[in-house]
Amino acid sequence: MRTLGVPGRSAVVLLAGALGVFGPLSASAQETPATAGQPWAPPPVSVSPPGDGNGQQSDIPYQKSKECVTRDLDNNIVLREKPWGQQYLQIEQAQKLAVSARGSAGGGMKVAVIDTGVTEHPYFRFPVQGGGDYVNAANQGLEDCDGHGTEVAGIIAANTPADTGFKGVAPDAQIVSIRQSSQNYSQPSQPSGSGGGGQTGGGSREQGQGAGNTHTLAQAVVRAANLGVDVINMSVDNCRPADGTINSGERELQAAIHYAVTVKDVVVVAAAGNTSESCKQNNQPDPNRPQSIVSPPWFADDVLSVAAIDETGGVASFSMNGPWVSVAAPGTKITSLDPSKGTSALANQVVEDGKLQDIQGTSFAAPYVAGVAALVRAQYPNLNARQVMHRIEATAQHPGAPGGRDNYIGFGVVNPVAALTAIVPSEEGITPARAEQLPSGLPPAAHRNWTPAAVALAGTGGGILVLLITLFVVHTIRRNRPAQ
């Protein structure tokens, strides 16, 4: 096992999965047709954003059903090398530019991590702010039983020592943790015939599927926006078959995200989602008619949706395609903070089904972009949320596709250095360049005169004909000559 970390400290193996799509998160059966125009586009926002519930779930009594992640104390391998994704994106170069321009890398920024909670870790420069907890209100988002949210937060804002390879993207930013989901919590079992069961409405999960639903995800978004954060990261998705409708839970989530962006000026970043047996890849013949809908990415007007690339630079095999994909970032062989309590170690593997596996998923591509958004917001304080999102898209490494985007990596792999330094035409009042069909640069083909060739062929053919006739005559004469 290759590991990266703090000299003198043991590496860790997380006893939790690298969660990508916490889904499907079921939603209310109330459905209305989606709009025409783009076949995949959601309808316009038609409901008010939900309340934030004061940062807690009040109507579902979740209970812990599994123990929280712990360290593997028998593992003494030290993690020192830099993760490939960090080097690929030139994160440290971008941080130097940010410090040179503003004196810090993301200083003054607050990034909300709506996830499975965040465990306090000594490699956060500022204490993690508990923003709310829709799983167990008493913990205020500062418990991470699943090990997912802490890893996400580490990619955004880990402030590690100089001799440690792994670095967070915006180490001077502060994390605000809101726990909205957990696979280690569930609803208590109801006796048969008691009238209990999975709650309906708002996208609640059924019993035994863990804590979290689209209703509480919408509340968490509003909660984060009301707390005054600058960026929201959601590495949690709801995937379902595309059927031309939008349900009530999705409507609430759409309204909550729209509220965060347009009213509270928050940049919203979300994982594009991972494929699975229940979340089929969008590889249908017509790319604009997806067979799977993934939200929050579906609400593309208000969300930076992040796909994953692997260490070859290509699209990761598990990364969900879709016309809503905005940009891409590294999502394989991830290194981040150990989410176990009372440790200052790092982790780069998990145990799933009794086997060691690399940490991977679009869940971990999204925080790279959330960290870049924090750097950009600190560098350009006069830009609003939509302008920050546009800058990140405009400076990405565009794919070779019409219009500079495709359904695999959107506008391309995020480029932190360019996002901090490039001139974006719309910000300078310059008309953006438009694609034009250019000539090949070669002269037009000359009209060919076939007369000489025809004469030559005719002469050659005539000569061959005369030769054949001569041979025939000679042969006939010799055959008819009397024998001597």
- Tokens (6 digits) for 270: 């979300």
**Residues 308 and 318: beta-carbon distance below 8 Å:** yes
Length of the chain: 484
Options 230, 248, 363, 398, the catalytic residue: 363
**Listed residue (352, 307, 299, 354) closest to 332, CA to CA:** 307
The 8-class DSSP code of residue 39 comes to T
pLDDT confidence of residue 417: 98
CA distance 346 to 358: 13
Give the start-to-end residue ranges of the domains of the chain.
12-189+199-428, 450-484
pLDDT confidence of residue 11: 43
pLDDT tens-place values along the chain, 484 residues long: 333 333 333 344 443 334 444 444 434 334 444 444 577 889 999 899 999 888 887 677 888 888 888 765 444 445 678 999 999 999 999 999 999 999 999 999 999 999 999 999 999 999 999 999 999 999 999 999 999 999 999 999 999 999 899 999 999 999 999 999 999 998 876 443 333 333 222 333 333 368 889 999 999 999 999 999 999 999 999 999 999 899 999 999 999 999 999 999 999 999 999 999 889 999 999 999 999 999 999 999 999 999 999 999 999 999 999 999 999 999 999 999 999 888 889 999 887 766 778 999 999 999 999 999 999 999 999 999 999 999 999 999 999 888 899 999 999 999 999 999 999 988 888 887 776 777 767 776 667 777 888 888 888 888 888 888 888 888 888 777 666 5
Q: Facing residues of 80 across strands?
A: 4
**Residues 170 and 371: beta-carbon distance below 8 Å:** yes
pLDDT confidence of residue 408: 96
Residue with the two structure tokens 């249908």: 284
Tell me whether residue 317 is one of the annotated catalytic residues.
Answer: no
**Residues 68 and 144: beta-carbon distance below 8 Å:** yes
Q: Which CATH class is domain 12-189+199-428?
A: alpha beta
Options 10, 28, 52, 115, the catalytic residue: 115
Options 28, 121, 144, 148, the catalytic residue: 148
Tell me whether residue 338 is one of the annotated catalytic residues.
Answer: no
pTM to 2 decimal places: 0.82
pLDDT confidence of residue 72: 57
Tell me whether residue 192 is one of the annotated catalytic residues.
Answer: no
Residue-by-residue DSSP string for 125-179: SSPPEEEEESS-GGGTT---SSSHHHHHHHHHHB---TT-S---SSTTSEEEEEE
pLDDT confidence of residue 37: 57
Beta strands at 245-247 and 346-352: parallel, antiparallel or unpaired: unpaired
